[in-house]
Structure 1
């Protein structure tokens, strides 16, 4: 190639060809020099602009890539260039421009399988899954061994709740690429959602392929816990600290992490991780740690400190951000189930129902008229990675308002509480004045029932042994399992599960029927007691 350039130094195609050779060997800077030289020699060369755009795309310089591709298509409209222009727009989060580019590529060449696939991906990013499925189908018809298209086809089918079709698409992807890691993970997790242990086989296969991958171990841990295999699940869950996407960073203490040995009077720091609900769920282990003979310091989120400072076995409760006292060893709160070898049958009870003094503060209590008093929660933390799955709108609770003898109160905090102004009836909002979780607990203690989406309020009410109905999405959190209406974590909780085929409206109609029966039973019991 270089000899050709030496013999014809002003030959633009030779410089373009040299750029291609350099790009293939990873010499991007030299490739850009060659393409730029080809463009100077022949400014009307669409290929040199296209190839230069490809280098910029590989380097994630999307603005430069888009500029080069636009110059190329201005000289000659080609499907490949429009396809790559769409990729650059898509990576730059310019979804509308990406969609237009992929469509233009398809118009120029209807047999362009990659353009159909990328058009489908752009649609899926915008949650237009039905249209995306059609595009992925076109891609696989044009290229029957297109594993990536089958994978994306399955993902969109799964998003629409068609698990059987999704599983079939994932299996086809594996037929062509048996070690396709994303497919192994997705198919494994999907089969687990269907209650099949076959899914664990796929996830174990992924761990065998990538034994040092924290993400692979994490993807195995969650399904194991969801299926109730706590013995293996907690062990795999310990890999969370090595996963770069884990939401709570490792603390990096110089003191060793406690492994369950006798403490013999030593001071141990138990520290919260992840969200409020996780702290409320796993603080039940603090008394067990104390029984190992040590002095227990509990570090939690500041707004939950006052509630938990009287937990049995806790010698000192401090808020995150406060100065830490001296301690000999430490343990993350959610590592304690692993330390104690917890199984479904050995989950310790929550200590919060013992803290009556916290719930009896008159300034924090909420009083209602003499009827069934029900607290409502419809939104979680909007920053939670799965909030779109679990949060709903207050309007979804309207079917409950038709039930006689029920008085509702909002337990909602955060931005979602603004929806109260649109509720057609009076909805008291005592939580607008609470200081922390202790005040919220006082309000809950005066209610008969809490109905909530999967938020910290579900854990607070359950830990207090207050009747609580938890509204679960079609993809539940691992701790609620897959099928049962009950959970060993909270004896007074009842789980309502949204189906893959039905929406929240269908679920809330069921909740309304159950609430009416709950109220009738309560009224009947009250009448019998009055007669006696």
Structure 2
């Protein structure tokens, strides 16, 4: 009998296995069995090389094992097969962000959120990419949508508040944190951040309450202790602040920011011997922290250690609160080397007083062979035009002329190797316009009682935008003791904040208000030629008088700006300047009394006309 072999089973359609393989792969994937998941996805792709879900999930796997380039390629293939999938675009955005392609990541995440307004991950990834680009306002909008989709997401609410702060919206950040605290009332980081936001809003009592609540929950948290100390510094409770900074360092000795804050607290008390080591420790622990370097630089400059001080102070432009915006120059930063034919662009960066003080160094650069172009605030172009050592002056808004290198004005002493003993102090180095000098001479001659006794200029307030203005400026009424000086007549040069006080001088003070007639610093310079003395707080006019070689007395707060050094009534920058220092913080009465006595002695030697 003949036997027949059994017939073969019909072939199985490989594509028919895909749903089962996909379910199996996803189950393995969710359980963290990545090798088994990958095997299932590869089987799917062997049957259908363009299967969108398998390509996408393989891309997700690649992301998980830190292969973003492979992930981006696989997910892009998946999108070509299914361009309407929001989750594909969201994960593509995540891969592109890992590759540093931030703009492409933002575009992919925007498409994800357009396709599905309920996709929380899409808004999360979009917020991450926008934050990378420092588009904090848009990032906050994305996070707002995210927390609406996930109302109990505490970490995302905390991130939203932080992003709102970076976007300059502290009041909205407070609202976000209060919403978070209604969900989790013992969230110490939220309470800490609430303190930060409230401090920003000058709601200091509420800020202190928030910090206290945070520290009740996490009493050993060094960051919270340091933040609370910073608030107490602003409240002028410096001893309490120092205690908190020390406690923070005790809990976390390598906390560089706490050492920095401790140095700042000692600095405010003029305890330089303790401030400098604390700041040096901050620099050692946080070598990339600009605030630590710049803070150390200011301390060293205050102590007269100019060479190291200017080196450290060169970090100032990297600080988050540096007043001048970062700029891009086509020419390189000058390295201090004088090359044949060098054209050097020297640009100002902070206040007009700084420019008047440091423009003197242009003469040294020119004498060593450079052609010097000075770019400055437009308020100063007329005053500086034609100054010895400056080949050309341009306003900050003017197009930059060709140049070989650029340097910030306050970095010139560093590049020139200036020390305390080599400050060029020959005055005057600024010039006045003869026509303006003549005009203001006629104007002053026409004033009532002109020609009798001393003519004393007064400036009592600086810009309220200055970070230390509350300590350096005062009210005209505080200068009342000067009115008792016989044989002295006063002229107000006050502009801006406080100028209106000239209409109501202290009783007995004969004060002529020229402020409304002064158009620019060239006018002020011309007026100073007709005054016997300028009495001023620490403002730009003090620098102008000093640079013109005119007699000037400067009233300084207890903790002065670094340029005035400490422990001396003379200035190495201006030989015609005399410094009157506070002996205690915010205590102006003894200072003004000394000024009145000195003015009386000066006036006694002047015979009435």
Note whether the superposition's TM-score is higher than 0.5: yes
After superposition, the Cα gap between the structure-2 partners of 1:460 and 1:341, relative to the gap in structure 1 and judged at 3 Å, is same
TM-fit CA distance, 1:6: 9.3
After superposition, the Cα gap between the structure-2 partners of 1:418 and 1:56, relative to the gap in structure 1 and judged at 3 Å, is farther
Is 1:525 matched up with 2:601? Answer: no
Describe how 1:190-201 pairs up with structure 2 within 5 A. Answer: 190-193=265-268, 194-201=270-277
Q: Aligned residue for 1:336? A: 412
- 1:361 counterpart SS class: helix
User: Hey, what's the Cα distance between the residues in 2 that align with 1:326 and 1:72?
Assistant: 56
Q: Aligned residue for 1:377? A: 459
Q: Aligned residue for 2:525? A: 441
Q: Aligned residue for 1:237? A: 313
Q: Aligned residue for 2:596? A: 516
Of 314, 331, 336, the residue aligned with 1:254 is: 331
Aligned residues between the structures: 497
Is 1:430 matched up with 2:514? Answer: yes
- 1:374 counterpart SS class: strand
Describe how 1:8-47 pairs up with structure 2 within 5 A. Answer: none
TM-fit CA distance, 1:281: 0.7
TM-fit CA distance, 1:345: 1.9
After superposition, the Cα gap between the structure-2 partners of 1:131 and 1:496, relative to the gap in structure 1 and judged at 3 Å, is farther
Q: Aligned residue for 2:480? A: 399
User: Hey, what's the Cα distance between the residues in 1 that align with 2:123 and 2:477?
Assistant: 49
Describe how 1:92-491 pairs up with structure 2 within 5 A. Answer: 113-114=188-189, 116-193=191-268, 194-211=270-287, 214=290, 216-240=292-316, 246=322, 247=324, 249=326, 252-254=329-331, 257=334, 259=336, 261=338, 266=341, 268-269=343-344, 271-274=346-349, 275-293=351-369, 296-320=372-396, 331-352=407-428, 355=431, 358=434, 361-365=437-441, 367=444, 369=449, 370-381=452-463, 384=466, 386=467, 388-389=469-470, 392=473, 394-395=475-476, 397=478, 399-400=480-481, 402-405=483-486, 406-414=488-496, 416-421=498-503, 427-473=511-557, 475-491=559-575
- 2:512 counterpart SS class: coil
After superposition, the Cα gap between the structure-2 partners of 1:82 and 1:272, relative to the gap in structure 1 and judged at 3 Å, is closer
Q: Aligned residue for 2:72? A: none
TM-fit CA distance, 1:521: 0.7
Residue pair 2:140, 2:160 contacting (<8 A) in 1 also:
no
Residue pair 2:580, 2:595 contacting (<8 A) in 1 also:
no
User: Hey, what's the Cα distance between the residues in 2 that align with 1:67 and 1:356?
Assistant: 61
TM-score normalised by L of structure 1: 0.73
- Over aligned residue pairs, what C-alpha RMSD do you find? 4.8
- 2:575 counterpart SS class: coil
TM-fit CA distance, 1:453: 3.1
Pick 1 or 2: higher relative contact order, CA cutoff 8 A, min separation 6: 1
User: Hey, what's the Cα distance between the residues in 1 that align with 2:175 and 2:556?
Assistant: 38
After superposition, the Cα gap between the structure-2 partners of 1:434 and 1:477, relative to the gap in structure 1 and judged at 3 Å, is same
TM-fit CA distance, 1:314: 4.0
1:220-240 CA distance string (max 9 Å, x none): 323322222112122233445
After superposition, the Cα gap between the structure-2 partners of 1:244 and 1:525, relative to the gap in structure 1 and judged at 3 Å, is same
- 1:428 counterpart SS class: strand
- 2:195 counterpart SS class: helix
Long gaps (5+) in structure 2: 1-24, 32-62, 69-86, 95-108, 110-116
TM-fit CA distance, 1:143: 1.8
TM-fit CA distance, 1:526: 2.6
TM-score normalised by L of structure 2: 0.65
User: Hey, what's the Cα distance between the residues in 2 that align with 1:415 and 1:224?
Assistant: 31
Residue pair 1:469, 1:494 contacting (<8 A) in 2 also:
yes
